[in-house]
């Protein structure tokens, strides 16, 4: 399932393979029913033709950028982590909800916080068609208050459950210092619904390197692969930007575990700074349609998605990291 190029045919082939693999992996009738649900939602991720009605964003200009962090959703910087200096410097802050409030690396180069920040996580229960998300600028409104399990100088562990009791998400966010510093994020999703269900677990980021917030020019290049998604300013740009040649990558690390619960993972990028609907991933949280594509001289976001099948009370764990380049 490893491919290097990001395009619609890659996404189509991955989704077809995922649906096929899932149907082979679940033998019982209850699991087959859940697998069919997952297959339906995998099909919904296939790029669609933009409609001509008002909901289509095919020919619309980007809506105004978020003017700032909404304090009723994002409590602000709660857990700060710093390491290195100069080229090896890294500073990021974790909110109490388990999202990132900023990411600076190297020194003086901010990658996320630019007059607001879009970063966070989403879950879709494909068996019940319910979605849960927190992207800093807003959330889905169906989470219980987060619980900080532990905190020290190198990591913080945060637990969050849904109000309907269907899922429990535990995140451990750790500082990885050194010549190539990174913020490592371990996300563990537990199925507490009482039934066997299929899920999507995703991480979203609106990458904005360097000076976009101070100048109002957020244009850059976005791309993705099976295991990564990123945004950056090229070294030799052919468009006007005050920002330097820096970028931020969200990268999958290793294989999700346990292997028996893992269906497929993939990365993609798209032309909106709003996060995706976790169940209808061709739409952002504002209901705007988009097609995954490479973006040049524009503004966008990136997502890493994991398709999982979990029996009742089973947990699956994925590993990711953010690092500047």
Q: What is the 3-state secondary structure (H, E, C) of 265-289?
A: EEEEEECCCCCECCCCCCEECCCCE
Lowest mean pLDDT, pick from 39-43, 235-239, 275-279: 39-43
The answer as to whether 3 is a domain residue is no
Question: How would residue 72 be classed by pLDDT, with cut points 50, 70 and 90?
Answer: very low
| Sign of the four-CA dihedral 203, 131, 134, 300 | positive
Q: What is the DSSP string of 103-140?
A: EE-STT-BSS-SSS--EEEEEEETTTTEEEEE-SS-B-
| Mean pLDDT of all residues in 28-32 | 45
- The better pLDDT of the pair 246, 53 is held by 246
In a domain, 209, yes or no: yes
Domain containing residue 137: 8-324
Residue 26 has pLDDT above 80, yes or no: no
**What is the side-by-side order of every strand in the sheet holding 147-151?**
147-151, 155-161, 167-176, 182-191, 315-324, 247-252, 228-232, 220-224, 295-298
Average pLDDT, integer, range 56-61: 31
Backbone conformation region of residue 140, classed left if phi is above 0, alpha if psi is from -120 to 50, else beta: alpha
Residue 1 lies in a domain: no
Peptide bond into 294 cis (omega under 30): no
Indicate the number of domains in the chain: 1
Got the DSSP string for 209-223? -TTHHHHS---EEEE
In a domain, residue 237? The reply is yes
pLDDT given at position 36: 52
Rounded to whole angstroms, how far apart are CA atoms 320 and 27?
A: 31
CB-based contacts of 236, cutoff 8 Å, min separation 6: none
Contacts of residues 14-23 at CB distance under 8 Å and 24 or more positions apart, as own/partner, are: 14/226, 14/264, 14/266, 15/42, 15/43, 15/45, 15/46, 15/264, 17/264, 18/42, 18/263, 18/264, 18/307, 19/43, 21/263, 21/264, 22/198, 22/263, 22/307, 22/309
> Would you call 98 helix, strand, or coil by DSSP?
coil
Mean pLDDT of 112-131: 93
Q: Which range has the top average pLDDT, 2-16, 278-292, 306-320?
A: 306-320
Q: 295 versus 54: which is more confidently predicted?
A: 295
Q: What is the pLDDT of residue 214?
A: 81
Note whether residue 2 is domain-resident: no
CA–CA dist 107, 89 (Å, integer): 5
Gap between the Cα atoms of 150 and 314, Å rounded: 22
Q: 22 pLDDT exceeds 80? A: no
Residue 125: CB atoms within 10 Å: 26
Tell me whether residue 61 is in a domain: yes
Whether residue 318 has pLDDT greater than 80: yes
For 191-218, the pLDDT digits (tens) are: 999 999 999 999 999 999 898 888 888 8
Q: Determine if the pTM surpasses 0.75.
A: yes
Statement: residue 264 has pLDDT above 50:
yes
Helix residue ranges, H only, the chain: 8-25, 29-44, 212-215
Give me 272's structure tokens.
Answer: 């909106």
Residue 151 pairs with which residues in a beta bridge?
Answer: 156
Query: What is the DSSP code (8-state) at residue 86?
Result: G
CATH number at residue 145: 2.70.98
For residue 323, the model assigns a pLDDT of 97
In this structure, is residue 300 part of a structural domain?
A: yes
Q: Which tokens hold the place of 209?
A: 């390197």
Order of strands, edge to edge, in the sheet holding 301-310?
130-134, 119-125, 197-205, 301-310, 262-270
């Amino acid at each position: 399932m490893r491919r290097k190029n990001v395009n619609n045919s890659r996404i189509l082939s991955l989704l077809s393979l995922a649906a096929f693999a899932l149907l082979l992996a679940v033998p019982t009738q209850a699991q087959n029913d859940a697998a069919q649900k997952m297959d339906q939602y995998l099909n919904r991720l296939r790029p669609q033709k933009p409609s001509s009605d008002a909901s289509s964003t095919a020919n619309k200009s980007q809506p105004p950028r978020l003017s700032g962090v909404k304090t009723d959703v994002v409590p602000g910087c709660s857990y700060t982590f710093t390491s290195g200096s100069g080229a090896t410097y890294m500073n990021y802050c974790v909110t109490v909800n388990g999202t990132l409030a900023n990411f600076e690396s190297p020194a003086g180069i901010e990658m996320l916080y630019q007059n607001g920040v879009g970063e966070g996580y989403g879950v879709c229960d494909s068996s019940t068609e319910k979605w849960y998300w927190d992207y800093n600028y807003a959330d889905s409104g169906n989470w219980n208050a987060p619980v900080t399990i532990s905190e020290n100088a190198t990591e913080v562990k945060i637990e969050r459950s849904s109000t309907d009791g269907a899922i429990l998400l535990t995140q451990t966010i750790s500082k990885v210092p050194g010549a190539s510093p990174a913020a490592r994020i371990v996300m563990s999703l537990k199925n507490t619904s009482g039934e066997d269900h299929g899920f999507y677990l995703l991480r979203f980021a609106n990458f904005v390197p360097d000076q976009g917030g101070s100048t109002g020019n957020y244009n850059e290049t976005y791309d993705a692969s099976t295991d990564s998604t990123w945004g950056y300013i090229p070294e030799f740009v052919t468009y006007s930007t005050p920002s330097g040649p820096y970028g931020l990558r969200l990268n999958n690390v290793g294989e999700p575990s346990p292997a028996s619960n893992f269906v497929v993972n993939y990365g993609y990028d798209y032309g909106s700074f709003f996060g995706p609907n976790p169940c209808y991933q061709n739409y952002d949280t504002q209901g705007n349609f988009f097609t995954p594509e490479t973006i040049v001289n524009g503004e966008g976001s990136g997502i890493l998605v994991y398709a999982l099948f979990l029996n009742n009370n089973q947990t699956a764990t994925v590993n990711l990291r953010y690092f500047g380049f």
